[in-house]
Structure 1
């Protein structure tokens, strides 16, 4: 089974840059996507469906912001949208698909780079997702957490550390 996590930084922009062709070449069974920055009705999804993917989108309420998704060739038993905490769910931060032997999560962690308030929000998210995962492990011991963690250990971990 091939699993991939990908921050597309806007699904519409990614499609213009060859994302569909890349996906066709890589052929993951499941892909967790971060930063969709679009609602499903804003994108021609037929290209993904034609590749055999079921699409599960969890966009942010604010248009053009955040949002996560899971595209899967394997039908999940259940899909859960969000963590049940409005402050994160309104930003489309986490989606989970439960399969027979595992649970797959696509998460977009807050960056905390825009000031103290958002940094505190990020720390709260880290605490809350830890609790969410601990509770979830009781029912689904095989958890896969894919996503953009927005944590860089060293400058080399940033795609372009000079412009960032």
Structure 2
């Protein structure tokens, strides 16, 4: 089973920059996107083999998630039900026979940390959600989680300590999630490899020099580890300030 996750930073713009070429070439069984930045009816994708599920933000041109899947899920849940972010279209939970798929666009705490409290409240509700699912079936979680977990996950870690996406609070929430029974799949295969980033500033030559952050993840329940085949970052794919990430895993059984 092949899965892809990509923060497209505006799906309509990304489609103009080759999104569909990559989509068809990678031929994923499940393809998750974040930051779609559109409303219902603003784009039509002819993806014949795929069921499409969209969680739109109420605010125009903002946030939003979608999942394109070859296998029809048993059920789909939109959002976490929290007051602060429910209208922002940040999460989709798809239930399959043998696992849950969660696609998340975690709130950014913002440059001045003005939204850190909202972010930390989200993290608590999110953990409750993931743990409740995991008690029923194993979970495959993906998306832009807006945190570089360890120093190896960003180029300039010394100058970014305490900044949005690299605060002790945000990193601690990621550690808590993993310690509760989950695995960061890329670090399972590449525990100490440097330079594996998924987001780069649009500033000139930053991406070319690979001055980036790894803030996009595939995370799975511990009991799925033996099924993992590969985890990759497709940094050669442009169209967004993020690049796609890829997971290959045997189909889970109960």
Q: Which has the higher helix share?
A: 1
* Structure 2 residue runs without a partner (length 5+): 156-194, 204-211, 213-254
Tell me if 1:14 matches 2:6. Answer: no
- Which residue number corresponds to residue 77 of structure 1? 74
Residues 79 and 162 of structure 1: is their aligned pair in 2 closer, same or farther, counting only changes over 3 Å? closer
Does the aligned pair in 2 maintain the 1:39–1:57 contact within 8 Å? no
Larger-Rg structure? 2
Aligned counterparts of 2:2 and 2:200: Cα–Cα separation in 1: 28
Tell me if 1:41 matches 2:41. Answer: yes
TM-score normalised to the size of structure 2? 0.59
1:60 Cα deviation from its structure 2 partner: 0.7
* Structure 1 residue runs without a partner (length 5+): none
Aligned counterparts of 2:62 and 2:202: Cα–Cα separation in 1: 24
The within-5 A match list for 1:12-161 is: 12-45=12-45, 47-48=46-47, 50=48, 52-140=49-137, 142-152=138-148, 153-155=153-155, 157=197, 159-160=199-200
2:33 match: secondary structure: strand
Aligned counterparts of 2:60 and 2:28: Cα–Cα separation in 1: 28
Task: Encode CA deviations 1:11-48: one digit per residue, 9 max, x unaligned.
Answer: 10110001011100000010111001112310022x22
